[in-house]
Amino acid sequence: MSAPQGPGWQQGPDGRWYPAQPQYPAQQYPPGPGYPPGQQYPGQQPYLPPPKSSRSWLIPVLVIVGVIVLSGIAFTWWVATKVGDAVSNVTGGTDMTCPTGAEISRLLGANVKGPTAAPEFFVAAACYYQPATSSDLYEVIIVSGSKLIADDEIASMKSEGLSAGASPHSINVGDKGVAWASTTKSSAMAVGEKALVGVEVQGKNSTEIPNQEAAAVAILEKVIH
């Protein structure tokens, strides 16, 4: 229209007049149903917690590894014990009983204390005695080992005696018995029914001592078997 035809007409951008547009009331919607906090409503995607850190597997893995390590140690100890017992039954070496300190003192004619038993390792065992007081002089070492290595150990013992200026010689103890004495050590060794046994009497801190060959032989006779 080129002119308004009544109240409310409005002129458009093209210069024409147009009747007023009817006004409609805003549409009202009923309130939706209420849902308690945390309850899933229809159409809602279920809540998925965020993925845990990759470190979450570390604790159980460490526990499993710890169990495996401890089991391995226990198994190794069991094998060592069984193998040691089996070899000992054949060759001897691990069933030596250490004499008391009083017994060694009587045979030595000097005071020592002990024994301190070294841990058994398959086919070897040892007893160690030290001077009873600071004024006492002697140390005593008794070693029991496998008969399989008797020849090598006896040869080594003789070589040590010669190097120390001693004169290794046979003794009537066990099988292949040998003894010698130097200025710092007296030694005796022989093969018994079950094991090779060696005895050393030496001065503490490698000090010079009187000849104690007889004492070394007497101790050897007591412990050899």
pLDDT for 57: 43
Give the residues of the chain that fall short of pLDDT 50.
54-55, 57-58, 61-62, 65, 67-69, 73-92, 119-123
pLDDT for 22: 63
83 vs 185: CA distance, rounded Å: 34
pLDDT for 206: 87
137 vs 199: CA distance, rounded Å: 17
pLDDT in tens, 62-113: 455 454 445 554 444 443 443 334 333 333 455 678 999 999 999 999 999 9
139 vs 131: CA distance, rounded Å: 6
Tokens representing 114 are: 């002990």
pLDDT for 133: 93
150 vs 181: CA distance, rounded Å: 20
Domain boundary assignment for the chain: 57-91, 101-223
Measured at the CA of 141, the angle between CA 137 and CA 147, to 5 degrees, comes to 160
pLDDT for 125: 84
